[in-house]
Amino acid sequence: MSMSFQHPLKAFSLGAKSAANLAEKIADNPVTNKTPQCMVTSIYQMHVSAHCCNVTVLWCKNLMNHSLNLIFNNPEEGEIYYSCKIDLKPWFFWSKRGSKSFDLQGCQVDIHWDFRSARFFGSPEPCSDYYVALVSDGEVVLMLGDYKKKAYKRTKARPALVDPTLFYKKENVLAKKSFSTRAKFKQEMKQEHDIVVESSTTGPKDPEMWISIDGIVVIHVKNLQWKFRGNQTVMVNEQQVQILWDVHDWLFNAPGAGHGLFIFKPGAPEPDDDKDDSPKATSSDSSDLSKYFSTTSSAPTHEFCLFLYAWKME
């Protein structure tokens, strides 16, 4: 198999790549760090007054720290406007409710958060009962969490006229056999999809892998030792979703020494002009994936893409 699997950050414009790189300067890069840690990175594009701004939301947890980092930067030049860190450690002297203010290109932005009732389920990002609200000029320009009513009551602000757009999410998951995450393939929809990747790479049988969305197996790969890289397009609620995977390290590296990479991208695959007469790709194909990571792609930067780094620990 000669397929090349390029670094996923090449899939984005300068603004997205810069924001992702800035986030990884604050926390250790899970791709290169020998001791991986649980981390969730999301990049939003929001509007503050007349300005467009990228916000990198980085949830990070290891044996020593548990924190939320917010990085605000110029979407075109990558210049950092402001960054702040909120510790989530359950220490008795730490307040789980607070606020900060900063100046963004002449506009005041207030950050309000409440983690007093936050619930976690295996991820550094809370699953419910919290909020993080960014407010500017009387508008909530970005809202995280499900305690929206409490956030609006506390901030006394109205919803933004232009909704923020989530166009990048990367999650670093450590597990033995099952790796799970959640994502919206349509950003206007409220419901997130449950995504689970399960594997069987040891034992008398040939290694296998299953990818499920909302409890339904959409991809089942047998003979994984020969099909450790591939791509397939599936239907999720009448929407096409491209799924790409590379689990070479699972099979040929020591446990914990490498990760499996899974990419979920809504929409139909781009046509390949050089292979118009060839059959469509299936999960067993080893076609070149480089077109998904082209820096010259004409796809708009607001198209959502999910990257799941699955570290198999024994």
Question: Is 276's pLDDT higher than 60?
Answer: no
Which residues make Cβ contacts (< 8 Å) with residue 92, sequence separation at least 6? none
What percent of the chain shows pLDDT beyond 70?
Answer: 77
**Mean pLDDT over all residues of the chain?**
80
- Beta-strand pair 208-213/51-61: unpaired
Give the pairing of strands 216-221 and 66-73.
unpaired
pLDDT score at 208: 94
pTM of the model: 0.78
Reported for 112-121, long-range contacts at CB under 8 A and 24+ positions apart, including other chains, are 112/151, 112/154, 112/155, 113/68, 113/86, 114/147, 114/150, 114/151, 114/154, 115/88, 117/147, 118/88, 118/145
The reported pLDDT for the residue numbered 92 is 58
Q: Confidence class of residue 155 from pLDDT cuts 50, 70 and 90?
A: very high
Q: How far is CA 81 from the centre of its chain?
A: 22
Eight-class DSSP state of 94: S
Residue 90 has pLDDT above 80, yes or no: no
* pLDDT tens, residue by residue, 284-293: 333 333 333 3
Please give the C-alpha separations between residue 296 and each of 105, 140, 299, 300, in angstroms, as whole numbers: 30, 34, 9, 11
Rounded Cα distance, 16 and 297, in Å: 13
pLDDT at res. 42: 95
User: Do residues 303 and 165 touch, judged by C-beta distance below 8 A?
Assistant: no
